[in-house]
Amino acid sequence: MVATLNGTVSEKILDQVVVEVNGVGYGVLVTAEDYQKLSVGKKAKLYIYEYIRDNADDYYGFLSLETKGLFELLLTVNGVGPRMALNMLSIGGVGEVRAAIASGDVKLLQSAPGVGKRVAERVIVDLKDKVGLVDTSDPRVLFASSAAATKDEAVQALIALGYSAPDALDSLHKVDSTLPTQERVKQALKEIKV
């Protein structure tokens, strides 16, 4: 069993990175957030979840043990496989996903590719009491856990401009929510740290 991979990121292909360890390249599936953080040519340590089937041996990698732990927790839900769990973890940071489960935000979980309403509801019912308390001191997590965050045109505009969801949420939290969308985006752009 492979527990960690510690090496150099040699390639990034779709939702996967190739980590070179002593001359061997391991293809590792990662979350969208981890994919953005990993850079080609840089060293990386990934915590590995190995999924073996008759015809494949897949590696799922995570930069933090907390993310891997939530991934493994998602796998305990009937009907959730590794790909679906990875998709759910790619809708936001681990705190946002925990907040969505704890607050019962079906729509946010459904925004992950391949996740239908029934599966999202099952995840909430099965894991609501297991994901731990939501950190209410982080405004991004609170804002992200509300249904409004997923429908907010200003958030979507900033993401379309290439900013990460946490950066978009953080900058919009500091802007008056009663302003028109275009004005909110302009002010949020001033708040985002380059």
CATH of domain 4-62: 2.40.50.140
Q: How many CA atoms lie within 13 A of 36 on its CB side?
A: 11
150, amino acid identity: T
Confidence check: pLDDT of 65 > 60 = yes
d(C-alpha 29, C-alpha 58), whole Å = 8
CATH fold of the domain at 65-127: DNA polymerase; domain 1 (1.10.150)
Q: What are 19-46's pLDDT values in tens digits?
A: 999 999 999 999 999 999 999 999 999 9
pLDDT at residue 137, rounded to an integer: 46
Confidence check: pLDDT of 135 > 50 = no
**Structure tokens given for 3:** 């527990």
**Structure tokens given for 119:** 């599966």
Length of the chain: 194
**Intervals of CATH 2.40.50.140 along the chain:** 4-62
Q: Is 27 exposed, middle or buried (0-12, 13-18, 19+ CB in 10 A)?
A: middle
**Intervals of CATH 1.10.150.20 along the chain:** 65-127
Q: 40 or 94: which carries more pLDDT confidence?
A: 40
Mean pLDDT of the chain: 84
DSSP annotation of 192: S
Instruction: Give, in degrees to the nearest 5, the angle at Cα 59 between 111 and 92.
Output: 25
pLDDT at residue 148, rounded to an integer: 44
pLDDT at residue 165, rounded to an integer: 67
Mean pLDDT value across residues 103-118: 91
Share of the chain above pLDDT 90, in %: 48
CATH of domain 152-191: 1.10.8
71, amino acid identity: F
| pTM of this structure | 0.67
pLDDT at residue 119, rounded to an integer: 93
Q: What are 136-189's pLDDT values in tens digits?
A: 445 555 454 444 454 577 877 877 777 766 677 777 777 887 788 888 888 888
pLDDT at residue 7, rounded to an integer: 95
> Which residue, chain included where needed, has tokens 């946490």?
166
d(C-alpha 186, C-alpha 194), whole Å = 15
